[in-house]
């Protein structure tokens, strides 16, 4: 049997003034020798990150996009034509948005099979594009999809994965975000990721309660009794996943990390992100499920305070690249 060709991954370095360039450069240096990459971003900032590595990877700037050969990393400059950028800036905001748009164009045009995004400054991009809340919602709109039809999932290398019912919402909007349609979408997308990552063919997924102590039979809230429990009952016998709960959020993540469940459905952003980030950098990677292509990213931000100090940990970008390639291969094989 002929060896399979590695998928082409389009990679954005994110904000050139943050840690994105250096974690991307370090991750490329550790990539498999047959990997193929199309990297998008501010070349002077990325070149500075390459020079700081003891053994930098070979990355070739190209004037136009082409498909990289096995073992080849190509770089497409998103401008501006300036010195390396440090910290937040208007130039950095324009560059990170231009790189993201070019990378999405490359994937949609077939030059790459999937997308890995470096950390961006949401606030800086929102200054150019009002209403920008993050990659998840922006990528859905770019693909002509309702942002409510995609799911933010956080996956680990071998442990559990977590799906979010609500993503980048102000906390005041969270109470109205819990609907059966969103629960169904989250469960379906989370189960899909778990099956493609070769966990269980029918993964066990725990549904985290919305209220303290699981609502205490309505004493601390009615969502568990009126919405969550009936939804779990409606999924009985589903061939794609087994749904359990609702379980108190202050214990469900510990139980999942101990191997009791393959997945957890969280009601809102910080209910999931606080416990999973306690595992440290690189424990989880972010996925957007429901797009016409695989998209992953590290689970951290731009970290301006760490940029350029050699203190940024590339583990998150390494995991994002690994999971992206694995999900592409599993999609190809069904």
Q: Render pLDDT for 229-269 as a digit per residue (tens, 0 to 9).
A: 999 999 999 999 999 999 999 999 999 999 999 999 999 99
Q: Are residues 40 and 125 in the same domain?
A: yes
Check residue 210 and report its DSSP letter: S
Question: Residue range 98-124: average pLDDT?
Answer: 97
Phi, psi angle pair for 16, to nearest 5°: -65, -20
Q: Are residues 106 and 203 in the same domain?
A: no
Report the DSSP beta bridge partners of residue 153.
Answer: 163, 287
Q: Are residues 29 and 125 in the same domain?
A: yes
Q: Are residues 3 and 136 in the same domain?
A: yes
Provide the b/e sequence for 173-190 (b: ≥16 CB within 10 Å). ebeeebeeebbebbbbbb
Q: Which two tokens stand for residue 161?
A: 């994965």
Which residue's entry shows tokens 């389009």? 10
Where is average pLDDT lowest: 1-15, 94-108, 190-204?
1-15
Q: Are residues 5 and 136 in the same domain?
A: yes
Contact call for residues 99 and 17 (beta carbons, < 8 A):
no
Q: What is the pLDDT of residue 1?
A: 33
Q: Which two tokens stand for residue 19?
A: 């840690």
Q: Is the model's pLDDT at 200 over the cut of 90? A: no
Q: Are residues 125 and 219 in the same domain?
A: no
Phi, psi angle pair for 71, to nearest 5°: 85, 5
Q: What is the pLDDT of residue 214?
A: 85
Q: Are residues 72 and 161 in the same domain?
A: no
CATH code for the domain in which residue 91 is found? 3.40.718.10
Q: Are residues 229 and 300 in the same domain?
A: no
Question: Residue range 159-165: average pLDDT?
Answer: 95
Supply angle C-alpha 255, 257, 261, rounded to 5. 60
Domain of residue 306 covers 1-150+290-334
Pick the closest to residue 160 from 276, 61, 75, 71 (CA basis). 276
Q: What is the pTM of this model?
A: 0.94
Check residue 171 and report its DSSP letter: G
What interhelical angle do 43-51 and 20-29 show, nearest 10? 60
Report the DSSP beta bridge partners of residue 242.
Answer: 204
Q: Is the model's pLDDT at 291 over the cut of 90? A: yes
Q: Are residues 120 and 171 in the same domain?
A: no
- Report d(CA 300, CA 284) in Å as an integer: 10
Contact call for residues 39 and 130 (beta carbons, < 8 A):
no
Pick the closest to residue 307 from 49, 37, 26 (CA basis). 49
pLDDT category of residue 220 using cuts at 50, 70 and 90: confident
Contact call for residues 183 and 232 (beta carbons, < 8 A):
no
Q: Is the model's pLDDT at 168 over the cut of 60? A: yes
Q: What is the pLDDT of residue 185?
A: 98
**Averaged confidence pLDDT in the chain:** 93
Kindly list the distances between the CA atom of residue 269 and the CA atoms of 103, 177, 275, in Å, as whole numbers in the listed order: 26, 12, 11
Pick the closest to residue 116 from 158, 73, 56 (CA basis). 73
Domain end call among 288, 303, 326: 288
What interhelical angle do 269-277 and 249-257 show, nearest 10? 40
Cβ neighbours for 260, distance < 8 A, ≥ 6 positions apart: 204, 206
Pick the closest to residue 115 from 130, 129, 127, 105 (CA basis). 105
Which residue's entry shows tokens 């050969």? 69
> What is the total count of domains within the chain?
2
The count of other CB atoms within 10 Å of the CB of residue 316 is: 26
Q: Are residues 281 and 298 in the same domain?
A: no
The count of other CB atoms within 10 Å of the CB of residue 14 is: 31
Cβ neighbours for 173, distance < 8 A, ≥ 6 positions apart: 166
Q: What is the pLDDT of residue 235?
A: 97
Q: Are residues 78 and 206 in the same domain?
A: no
Domain end call among 273, 288, 303: 288
Q: Are residues 271 and 331 in the same domain?
A: no
């Amino acid at each position: 049997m002929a060896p399979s060709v590695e998928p082409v991954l389009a990679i954005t370095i994110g904000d050139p003034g943050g840690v994105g360039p250096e974690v991307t450069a370090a991750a490329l240096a550790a990539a498999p020798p047959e990997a193929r990459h199309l990297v998008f971003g501010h070349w002077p900032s990325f070149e500075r990150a390459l020079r700081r590595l003891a053994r930098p990877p070979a990355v070739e700037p190209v004037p136009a996009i082409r498909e990289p050969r096995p073992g080849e990393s190509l770089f497409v400059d998103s401008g501006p034509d300036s010195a390396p950028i440090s910290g937040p800036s208007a130039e950095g905001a324009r560059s990170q948005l231009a790189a993201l748009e070019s990378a999405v164009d490359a994937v949609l045009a077939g030059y790459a099979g999937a997308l890995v995004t470096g950390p961006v400054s949401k606030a800086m991009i929102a200054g150019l594009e009002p209403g920008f809340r993050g990659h998840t919602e922006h990528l859905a709109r770019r693909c002509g999809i309702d942002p409510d039809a995609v799911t933010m999932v956080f996956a680990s290398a071998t442990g559990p994965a977590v799906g979010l019912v609500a993503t980048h919402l102000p906390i005041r909007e969270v109470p109205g975000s819990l609907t059966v349609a969103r629960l169904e979408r989250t469960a379906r997308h989370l189960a899909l990721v778990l099956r493609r990552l070769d966990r269980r063919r029918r993964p066990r997924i725990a549904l985290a309660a919305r209220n303290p102590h699981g609502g205490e039979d309505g004493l601390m809230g009615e969502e568990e009794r009126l919405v969550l429990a009936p939804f779990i009952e409606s999924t009985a016998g589903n061939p794609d996943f087994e749904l359990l709960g609702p379980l108190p959020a202050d214990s469900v993540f510990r139980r999942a990390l101990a191997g009791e469940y393959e997945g957890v459905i969280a009601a809102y952003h910080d209910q999931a992100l606080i416990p999973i980030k306690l595992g440290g950098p690189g424990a989880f990677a972010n996925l957007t499920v429901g797009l016409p292509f695989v998209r992953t990213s590290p689970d951290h931000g731009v970290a301006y305070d760490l940029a350029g100090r050699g203190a940024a940990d590339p583990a998150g970008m390494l995991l994002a690249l690994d999971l992206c390639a694995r999900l592409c291969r599993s999609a190809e094989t069904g």
